């Protein structure tokens, strides 16, 4: 654990000020579970916000007690790693609507004293940024030195620059897009239908029935996995390799890829929450700052002093490089200081979570020079 942040304990922030959401609804109280790595300097100028993606959470680095595996971005965050915890104070929250401790569908709805379940209001990227701002204020951080995220996390990073341009010095937007395409929404919709057609869905009140739509959630995860990996990486990893030495000609697993996908689904479902999965996919669908802000978007970004690093991966077909370039073009139109790199990788969309020399070098350079 030489270059690990070591053992970490999540903290919790409670805010009793109501949070007004984009949908028009309101959360009376907000709890955000988060982790921090490194130390805030005296000038409070070295804070980095980590924004997680669809299935992520606050546990980005280091180990919880009894953890076998470290947090989801442990290769990126730690002493002498690109997000260097010897230099930076890293804050990693679980988003509201999540299922790992922050106010979400698994929380008790104070109005009914029952689990929120599907009554939990739809949250958007905009709402997340507002809730992260509450956390920032609570931690007495005047501005983020960097806001960093991949995929849905990259959208939050982008949104920070729009929503609080004076509170973010640098935005790192990895493997993201300025909005989903019809195909992206279509995949999300199939995942949602898989969950909501599960007989244990119970209109989203499954916790009250002490059950969970885990088969639907597993299906959603299986489908998600196909879009996270590239055709290329799946081919290299599994190809047409058989599970046994010969074909059985039945509906059990024949090919290794089937085995892998089933395993991914079955492993994921009991450790996640179906309502959260639905909320996360909706936040993705709704994200569209160009539409939300119209002309004021350009004014807002132009008026900010935020520097941008936009990164994409060659084999990512969920948000391919062409989608990241849409963000770059938008920022260029605002005459912003932008760095863009297209990283060669066979890892597909998940490449943003993988160790990669070029990727880490670009990250290190941007983080140390800005």
348 within 8 A of 228, measured Cβ to Cβ: yes
Residues 291-310 that bind a second copy (CB under 8 A): 291
249 near a second copy, rule: CB under 8 A: yes
Name which of 37 and 187 has its Cβ closer to a second copy: 187
Q: Which helix (H) or strand (E) holds 286?
A: helix 274-286
Based on the residue annotation, tell me whether 100 is a catalytic residue of this protein.
no
List 23, 271, 296, 368, residue binding a second copy (CB under 8 A): 23
59 is catalytic: no
Q: How far is the CB of 313 from a second copy (least distance, A)?
A: 17
Contacts 24+ apart (CB under 8 A), 196-200: 196/278, 198/274
Question: What is residue 178's three-state secondary structure?
Answer: coil
Stretch that binds a second copy, among 66-74, 82-90, 95-103, 231-239 (CB under 8 A): 231-239
CB of 200 to a second copy, least distance (A): 10
Torsion angle of the four alpha carbons 160, 166, 167, 169, in this order, in degrees rounded to the nearest 10: 90
Contact status: 210 vs a second copy (CB under 8 A): no
Q: Is 278 in the site for a second copy (CB under 8 A)?
A: yes
* Residue 231 interacts with a second copy (CB under 8 A): yes or no: yes
CB atoms within 10 A of CB 352: 28
Is residue 151 part of the annotated active site? The answer reads yes
Question: What does the buried/exposed string (b/e) look like for 116-125 if buried means 16 or more CB atoms within 10 Å of the residue's CB?
Answer: bbbbbbbbbb
Q: Are 297 and 208 in contact (CB under 8 A)?
A: no
Distances, alpha carbon 337 to alpha carbons 69, 128, 229, 275, in Å: 37, 25, 31, 39
Enumerate binding residues for a second copy (CB under 8 A).
22-25, 118, 121-122, 179-183, 185-187, 189-190, 192-194, 196-199, 215-216, 218-219, 222-223, 225-226, 229, 231, 234-235, 237-240, 247, 249-251, 254-255, 257-258, 261-262, 265, 278, 282, 285-286, 288, 291
Catalytic residues: 151, 316, 349
């Amino acid at each position: 654990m030489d270059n690990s942040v070591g053992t970490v304990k999540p903290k919790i922030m409670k805010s009793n000020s109501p949070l007004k959401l984009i949908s028009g609804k309101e959360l009376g109280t907000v709890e955000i579970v988060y982790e921090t790595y490194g130390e805030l300097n005296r000038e409070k100028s070295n804070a980095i916000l980590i924004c997680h993606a669809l299935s992520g959470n606050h546990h980005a680095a280091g180990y919880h007690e009894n953890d076998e595996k470290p947090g989801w971005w442990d290769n990126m965050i730690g002493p002498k790693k690109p997000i260097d915890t010897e230099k930076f104070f890293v804050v990693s929250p679980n988003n509201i609507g999540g299922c790992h401790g922050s106010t979400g569908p698994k929380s008790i709805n104070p109005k009914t004293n029952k689990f929120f379940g599907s009554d939990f209001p739809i949250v958007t990227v905009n709402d997340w940024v507002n809730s992260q701002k509450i956390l920032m204020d609570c931690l007495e951080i005047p501005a983020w030195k960097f806001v960093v995220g991949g995929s849905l996390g990259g959208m939050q990073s982008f949104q920070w620059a729009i929503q609080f341009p004076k509170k973010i010095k640098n935005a790192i937007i990895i493997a993201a897009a300025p909005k989903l395409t019809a195909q992206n929404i279509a995949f999300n919709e199939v995942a949602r239908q898989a969950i909501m057609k599960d007989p244990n869905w119970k209109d989203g009140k499954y916790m009250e029935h002490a059950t969970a739509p885990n088969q639907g959630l597993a299906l959603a995860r299986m489908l998600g996995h196909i879009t996270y990996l590239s055709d290329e990486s799946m081919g290299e990893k599994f190809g047409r390799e058989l599970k046994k030495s010969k074909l059985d000609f039945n509906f059990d697993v024949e090919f290794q890829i089937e085995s892998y996908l089933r395993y991914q689904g079955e492993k994921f479902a009991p450790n996640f929450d179906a309502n959260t999965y639905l909320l996360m996919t909706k936040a993705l669908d709704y994200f569209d700052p160009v539409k939300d802000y119209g002309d004021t978007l350009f004014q807002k970004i132009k008026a900010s002093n935020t520097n941008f690093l936009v990164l994409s991966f060659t084999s990512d077909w969920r948000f391919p490089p062409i989608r990241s370039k849409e963000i770059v073009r938008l920022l260029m139109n605002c005459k912003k200081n932008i760095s863009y790199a297209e990283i060669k990788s066979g890892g597909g969309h998940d490449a943003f979570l993988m160790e990669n020399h070029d990727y880490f070098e670009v990250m290190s350079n941007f983080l140390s020079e800005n």
